[in-house]
Amino acid sequence: MSDPKKLFIKTYGCQMNVYDSERMAEALGGQGYVETQSVEDADMILLNTCHIREKAAEKVYSELGRFKGLKAAKPDLKIGVAGCVAQAEGEEIMRRQPLVDLVVGPQSYHRLPELEAKARAGEKALDTDFPEEDKFEKLKSRPKAKRGPTAFLTVQEGCDKFCAFCVVPYTRGAEVSRPADRILREANELVERGVREITLLGQNVNAYHGAGPNGDMTLAGLIWELDKIDGLERIRFTTSHPNDMSDDLIEAHGTCAKLMPYLHLPVQAGSDKILKRMNRSHTAESYLRLIERIRAARPDILMSGDFIVGFPEETEADFQATLDLVEEVRYGYAYSFKYSTRPGTPAAERAQVDPAEADDRLQRLQAVITRHQREIQDSMVGREVSVLFEKPGRLPGQMVGKSEYLHAVHVQDPGLEAGQIARVRIVASGPNSLAGELA
């Protein structure tokens, strides 16, 4: 038997790309590929790209340029670009970087085996269709090998919201939900392989409305079905839109013990003028009232969010409104970005904020977010949390896992194993993690 071919995948961007990379590696497994962590060993390099901000796309081109020497030394090496840059730029990638043999958009991963064969035959292979067939159904079924205790599971893709800054509706296409039975089958298979925590993924995960046995199922309905799976101990979901936070989902946060007290609910800005221009269709006030209702259902829930500063026409007063909102919510985590012009989106044509001003606002926002994050993390000291251990830490006999609030927790105890869930008393708080002792 010939040696397996080696596949090196580098993943950029969101968790949906992490999930997609796993599925692509599995699809190419059928072509005799095994994954390698060393780019020098690879017979195929696949960059699974992100197009959300300009910098993310440019990084891909500079990374591709670095493969020149590798390809010269190994002419059989195939180089592929997948993900949202592939979708957005298509053939342009091959024109700009002739080293690239294969370009595949996020809706065509099930066609990777044919594309790989075409590339192996020396042809350029490109597929950026939005095909009719369901890629998840066509993808090779997942292998049975044991795996780590946490997994992502995509339940919904695409977006119909068209926020004025965002490329997702163009690169990922219209919003589509996977049927519930297929998700539940995949979840059961993951649990059989050792998974104890599943994070349901979607660009608008709480807009989920997949076909179920009695008509469409909501995300809350799906969570309650997952709740019945023995061996699955924790459920999370991301990313949610404030407008799709339905009553049954809020209620599930108070009543479903497996649903973790953590919610990523991006607001983007605190000024109603800016929110309107972003086409977000919620106000700062409606967002704050929503969080009140969520906290009434689950008082200890840890909130997380996304922010854009320097959106076209954002004034200092608009930015202050964002700071005020952040002060009121107090996020345990938050991701903040400087607005990045995306060609083809409505906001790209508008008057841009001075980049130095936007940088300054980003730093001021991040300072507030970091302060809250640190205060919330420090307030865990002395408390008892439940930790799902994932892997050994850097020190001998140390294990690292996540609390229900998604804080990283280190515990020194040689008896601990990955996949174990234990009560832990937090004894110290560091810059990015907590230290604890078994309770």
Give residues in contact with ligand SF4 (CB under 6 A): 159, 161-163, 166, 168-169, 203-204, 241
Quick check: helix, strand or coil at residue 99?
coil
Query: Would you give the distance in Å from CA 432 to the centre of its chain?
Result: 19
Residue from 207, 220, 303, 308 binding ligand SAM (CB under 6 A)? 308
Q: Is 251 in the site for ligand SAM (CB under 6 A)?
A: no
Question: In terms of Cα–Cα distance, which of 334, 342, 340 is closest to 365?
Answer: 334
Contact partner at residue 308 from ligand SAM, ligand SF4, none, CB < 5 to 8 Å by partner kind: ligand SAM
Q: Is 201 in the site for ligand SAM (CB under 6 A)?
A: no
Q: Which is nearer to ligand SF4, 53 or 372 (CB)?
A: 53
Q: How many CB atoms lie within 10 A of CB 65?
A: 10
Q: Which is nearer to ligand SF4, 159 or 250 (CB)?
A: 159
In angstroms, the CA 119 to CA 5 distance is 14
Q: Is 239 in the site for ligand SAM (CB under 6 A)?
A: yes
> Cα 360–332–398 angle (5° rounding)?
115
Q: How many CA atoms lie within 13 A of 182 on its CB side?
A: 17
Q: Is 165 in the site for ligand SAM (CB under 6 A)?
A: yes
Q: Which is nearer to ligand SAM, 166 or 232 (CB)?
A: 166
Tell me the closest approach of the beta carbon of residue 337 to ligand SF4, in angstroms. Answer: 11
Q: Which is nearer to ligand SAM, 89 or 233 (CB)?
A: 89
Q: Is 269 in the site for ligand SAM (CB under 6 A)?
A: no
Tokens representing 87 are: 């979708």
Question: Could you give the maximum distance between any two Cα atoms of the chain, in Å?
Answer: 68
In angstroms, the CA 104 to CA 127 distance is 5
Q: Which is nearer to ligand SAM, 32 or 346 (CB)?
A: 346
Q: Which residues contact 340 (CB under 8 A, 6 or more apart)?
A: 52, 53, 54, 55, 165
Q: Which is nearer to ligand SF4, 45 or 347 (CB)?
A: 347
Which residues of the shown chain bind ligand SAM in the complex (CB under 6 A)? 14, 52-53, 165-166, 168, 203-204, 239, 241, 266, 268, 306, 308, 337, 339-340, 342
